[in-house]
A and B are shown apart, each in its own frame.
Chain A
Amino acid sequence: MKLASYRKKSPWILHYNAGGCNGCDIEILACLGPKYDIERFGMINTGNPKQSDILLVTGPVTKRSRERLVEIYAQMPEPKVVISCGACASTGGVFRGMYNCEGGIDQYIPVDVYVCGCGTRPEQIIDGVVQALGILEKKTKELEESVRLKKEAVNEGKQLNRRNIADEIKPLLS
C-alpha cells in the first residue's frame, strides 16, 4: 500500500443545491445507491462543510442562495475543491437570463471541475469527482509546501532588504 495515495481515497462530499430543478440531485443520490456505490471510493456525503473536501453544487445561483453558497464555501477547511454539477451550475443552463438567477456558480466561488449535462449522469459525476481528486491532491501538496516555506528558517545573509538594494543601485543612478 502506498501511504501517499491515501489522499485520493477519502474525499468527503458536501452537496449543495443552489436553486436548480433537483434533476442533478437525484442523480447524485443515485451515485450513493447500490448500483454506482461511490462509497467504494471512500466518498461520504457528509452534509457538513466543516468536514468536507469537495463541494458539489447543482443548479444556477439564485439571488436568494448566493450568500449561503459563499458562506458554506468559506466554512470548508482548506484544501477544498468545487465541482459545478450540471449545465445550470456551470453556466446557468435553461435558467440563464432569468430575473431571479445569476447564472453559473463561478461568478461567486472558484470552480475547479465543470460537469456537463442536464441532468448529469452518475458516471459523469463519478468521473468529475475523480478528476477533482487529482486537483485536491495538487492543492494538498501546495498547502504542504507553503507550510514548509513558513517553517524553514530564513537565511539572514542572503536576504536583501530595501536599504541594501537602495545602497546597491545608488552608484548606478548617479
Chain B
Amino acid sequence: MFPYIASLFILPLVVSGLLLLLPKTAARVLVIASSVALSILSLYLFLNVDEPFYFGLPHYVNEIVAGADILLLLYFGWVAFRKKSLLVGVMSVLQLGGLLYLLKTMPAAESMQFMVDKLSTFMFLLINVISGVIAIYSLKYIDEEECSSFRKKYFLSILFWFIAVMNLIVSSDNLEYFFLFFELTTLASFLFIGFRKDKESVNNALTALWMNQIGGLAILAAIFFIHYNGFGEGTFTNLLANTGATGILLPLALLSVAALIKGAQMPFSKWLLGAMVAPTPVSALLHSSTMVKIAPFIILRLSPALRDTPVATVIIALTGFVFIAAAIGALSQDNFKRILAHSTIALLALMIMMGAVGTPVTIVAALALIMFHGISKCMLFLNAGILERVFHLKQSSDMDRLGEIGPFTSLVITIGFMSLLLPPFGAFIGKWMSIETLGAMTADKKILGALVMVAVACGGAVLSLLYFKVMGLMIARTGESDKLKFEKTGPIFSGTIYVLIGLIILSIIGLPWLVTEYFAPVAATSLNVNEIPVLTEGWNIYIGPIKLPLVPLLIAFFLLPVTIITAMFVRFKNVDRAKEYMCGEKVNYTFSSFYFSTDKATPYFYAAGVLFFISLIIVALI
C-alpha cells in the first residue's frame, strides 16, 4: 500500500516541478496524464484500504519539517514586511515564537507520523478527481489570462503543489506535520489569491493569510496543551484515544477553531469572499475539493471525541447561526461568484454541524454533503469561468439573455444549482437527514436542537429561494428562441463540464448504493466503530433509527429536476403564440433580479460570530 500512497504525495510534487520547465504542449499532456493517474490511484486506494494504515518516516524528516516550518514562517514575516501588513507580521512572530518554544520543549516524536484510513482515502478521491478536472480546465482558462507565460506555468505548478499538500494533510496523524501542511495550504491560497497582483488581490491575499494564520496558531496551542495536560504526543490517534479525559477539551476546541477558520465560518468568512478576485479555477479549487474541505475533515476526524461535549454544542450553535446568516447574506449578492461563495459558507456550516453532532446518520449525511457539494460547486465555478471568458458576464443580473445566447451553459448551471438543492440530489438528502437527526438528538438538549433545526430549515428555505432566483435567470427567453441550439465552448471547457455532469448523474443513480456501500463504512471509520447498521428494507433505507423513504424521493426526482431540465427542451406544436402582455405597449424591457440589502445586518453577524468563537474557548476552559 505504501508505494501507492507515497506516489500520491510525490507525483503531484514532481509534476509541479516539471510544469515550471516544460514547454506548453508537453505541459498539457503532462497535466492531463497526471490528473488521470492521480484519479485512478486515489480510486484504487479508496477501494482497497480497509484498516487504518500507519507509516512513519525516518527521524531526520522531523528535522526537515521543523526547518520547513521555520522557513515558511520567516517567509510570511518577510511578506508582512514587504506589504507592510501589521496583522500578518504579528501573527508570524507569534507563530514563530510558539513553534520555537514547542521545538525546544517537546520531546522528539516517536510514533508514526502518517495514518491513512477510509476517511483519508475518501478525501483523496475527492481531492484528486475534482482537482484533476480543475487542473485540466485551467489549462485553457489560464491560457487566456493576461500575464507572462512564466506566470501561466507558475499557476499550474502551484495547483499541483496544492494537490500534493492536500493529499499530505488528510493523511497526516502527527499534529506538527499537520501544522506544516496547514500552513502550506495557507501559503498556496495566499499565492493564488494574490495571483493577479492588483491592489485588491494583494489586500485580499493578506486577509486570507492572517486569518488562516490564526488557525495555525490555534494548532500550535493545541499541540502545546496536549503536551501540557499530559496526554503525551500531539497526534490525532492520541487525542481520540483519550476521549472524555479532563483537559482534552481545550486542544479539541483549539483544533476546531482552526477548522472553523479554514471553513470560513463567520466572522472569518471574509477571506473566502475575498478569494473571488483570483482566477476562477482558484475559486473552484478552494471551494470544492481543497482548502475549505479541511474544515469538515478535521471535525470528522475529531467527531468521536467531540460528540456530546460542550465544545460540540457551541460548534453546533455557531454553525447553525452561520448557516442562516450566510444564506441571508447570499440574498443580497448580485455577483455570480459571490452568490456561490455565500452558499459555500452556508453548506460548509451544515457539514461541520453534522460532523459535530457525530451520530452515525449525521456523519453519513456530512460525507454525502461533502461529496455532492464538491462536485456541484466545482461545476458551478467552472461555469462561472466560462461565463466570464466566453460570454463576458459577471453579474447575475446581466445574465437574463444567457438562455438565448448560451443555452448549454445555462442548462449546466441549472443542473448545478439543482444538485445543490432539489431531492433526491445529495444536498437535499444531507439537509433532510440533518433536520431529522437534530430532531432525534434533542432528548437532552432540546432547546439547542430545536433552535438549530429552525435555523437549518429556514436557512434551507432562504437558500432555495436564492437558487431559484438564479435558475429563473437561466431559463428566461422569448418566444422567438423557443428552439434551443447549443453553443460551442471548446473541447477543454465542455469536456471538463461533461465529466462533472457525468459524475453528478452517476452519484444520483448510485445514491442508495453509495450510502450503504461507501458512505457508511467511511463514517464507521470516522466514528471508530465496526460498522454502521444500514438496512435496505422494501423501499426504505434505514440508517440507525432514521428512515429514508425512497419512493417519494424517486418520484420527486422525476417531478422536479427532470421537469426543469425538460422545460428547457420541450416544444409544443399546434399552438398559437402571443407576445408577452405589456398593456398593449410594444416595448422591450431589460430585466434584472431582485436582491435584498442586508449590509446593515452584516456587522451584527460578525459580532455574533466573534462571541461564538470566544465562548468556544471559554467553554473548553471550564
Contact = CB atoms under 8 A, between A and B. Distances in A.
A72 B584 contact: yes
Interface string B573-603: 0001011010111100000000000000000
A75 B479 CA distance: 14
A68 B579 contact: no
Q: Is the interface of B mostly helix, strand, loop or mixed?
A: loop
Interface of B: 576, 578-579, 581, 583-586
B461 to A, nearest CB: 30
Interface in A66-113: 67-69, 71-72, 74-75, 77-78
A67 B578 CA distance: 15
Contacts of B586: 67, 71
12 contacts: A49-B581, A50-B578, A50-B581, A67-B584, A67-B586, A68-B584, A69-B584, A71-B585, A71-B586, A72-B584, A75-B578, A78-B576
> In terms of DSSP, what is the predominant structure of the interface of chain A?
helix
B581 A48 contact: yes
B554 to A, nearest CB: 35
B290 to A, nearest CB: 51
A56 to B, nearest CB: 15
A75 B579 contact: yes
Interface residues of A, number: 12
A84 B583 CA distance: 19
Contacts of A48: 581
Contact of B584 (A50, A71, A77, A78): A71
Nearest to A150: B574
Interface in A15-37: none
Contacts of A69: 584
Contacts of A67: 584, 586
A85 B314 CA distance: 72
Nearest to B582: A71
Contacts of A78: 576
**What are the nearest 3 A-B pairs in CB distance?**
A68-B584, A71-B584, A72-B584
A91 B265 CA distance: 72
B581 A68 contact: no
A74 B579 CA distance: 9
A69 B585 CA distance: 10
Contacts of B579: 71, 75
Contacts of B583: 68
A127 B197 CA distance: 78
Contacts of B576: 77-78
B300 to A, nearest CB: 54
A67 B579 CA distance: 14
A143 to B, nearest CB: 12
A75 B585 contact: no
Contacts of B578: 50, 74-75, 77
A75 B584 CA distance: 9
Nearest to A70: B584
Nearest to A69: B584
A49 B586 CA distance: 15
Nearest to B576: A77
Contacts of A77: 576, 578
A42 B568 CA distance: 37
A110 to B, nearest CB: 17
A72 B584 CA distance: 5
A167 to B, nearest CB: 35
Given A48-B581, A49-B581, A68-B583, 16 more contacts: A50-B578, A50-B581, A67-B584, A67-B586, A68-B584, A69-B584, A71-B579, A71-B584, A71-B585, A72-B584, A74-B578, A75-B578, A75-B581, A77-B576, A77-B578, A78-B576
A77 B585 CA distance: 18
A22 to B, nearest CB: 17
A77 B584 CA distance: 15
A71 B586 CA distance: 9
Contacts of A68: 583-585
A50 B584 CA distance: 12
A75 B581 CA distance: 8
B118 to A, nearest CB: 58
Nearest to B585: A68
Contacts of B584: 67-69, 71-72
B588 to A, nearest CB: 14
Nearest to A50: B581
A127 to B, nearest CB: 28
A134 to B, nearest CB: 24
Nearest to A68: B584
Interface centre among A50, A75, A77 (most CB of B within 10 A): A75
Nearest to A74: B578
A69 to B, nearest CB: 7
B100 to A, nearest CB: 76
A71 B587 CA distance: 12
A128 to B, nearest CB: 23
